[in-house]
Amino acid sequence: MKPARIRRHLRVIAPVTALALLADPSRASMASATTATTATTATTATTGQAYPTARAPSSALASSAPPSALVDRARPGARANRTAPCPSPGRAGVTVVLVHGAWAGTSSWSGEVASLQRAGHAVRAVANPLRDLATDAASVADFLKTIPGPIVLVGHSYGGSVITNAAVGVPAVKALVYVDAAAPDTGETTGQLSGTGSALGADPGSLYDKVAYPGAPQGAAELYLKRDVFTRSFASDLPEDTAARLWASQRPASTRAFMAPSKGVAWRTIPSWYFISTGDRIITPGAQRFMARRARSTVTEFRGGSHLTLVSHPDAVTSVIESALCSVR
Q: What's 231's DSSP letter?
A: I
pLDDT at 71 (0 to 100):
34
**Cα-Cα-Cα-Cα dihedral of 118, 124, 129, 134, to 10°?**
-130
pLDDT higher than threshold 60 for residue 54: no
What is the rounded average pLDDT of the residues 254-275?
97
CA separation for the pair 255, 223 (Å, rounded): 7
CA separation for the pair 265, 169 (Å, rounded): 10
Query: Phi first, then psi: what are they for 240, rounded to 5°?
Result: -60, -40
What is the rounded average pLDDT of the residues 150-167?
98
pLDDT at 69 (0 to 100):
23
With H, G, I as helix, E, B as strand and everything else as coil, classify residue 98: strand
Q: Which amino acid is at 239?
A: P
Percent helix / strand / coil, the chain, rounded to 5 = 35, 20, 50
How does residue 12 score in pLDDT terms, banded at 50, 70 and 90?
low
pTM reported for the whole predicted model: 0.78
What is the rounded average pLDDT of the residues 37-52?
30
Domain ranges of the chain: 3-15+73-192+259-327
pLDDT higher than threshold 60 for residue 245: yes
pLDDT higher than threshold 50 for residue 149: yes
283-302 as b/e: b if 16+ CB within 10 A: bbbbbbbbbbbbbbbbbbbb
Name the helix (H) or strand (E) containing 301: strand 298-302
**Angle at the Cα of 81 (from 15 to 18), degrees rounded to 5?**
5
pLDDT higher than threshold 60 for residue 56: no
Q: Of 156, 245, 157, 247, which Cα lies nearest the Cα of 208?
A: 247
CB 264 within 8 A of CB 165: yes
pLDDT at 88 (0 to 100):
56
Question: What CATH superfamily classification does 3-15+73-192+259-327 receive?
Answer: Alpha/Beta hydrolase fold, catalytic domain (3.40.50.1820)
CB 198 within 8 A of CB 285: no
Q: Of 328, 327, 321, 325, which Cα lies nearest the Cα of 156?
A: 321
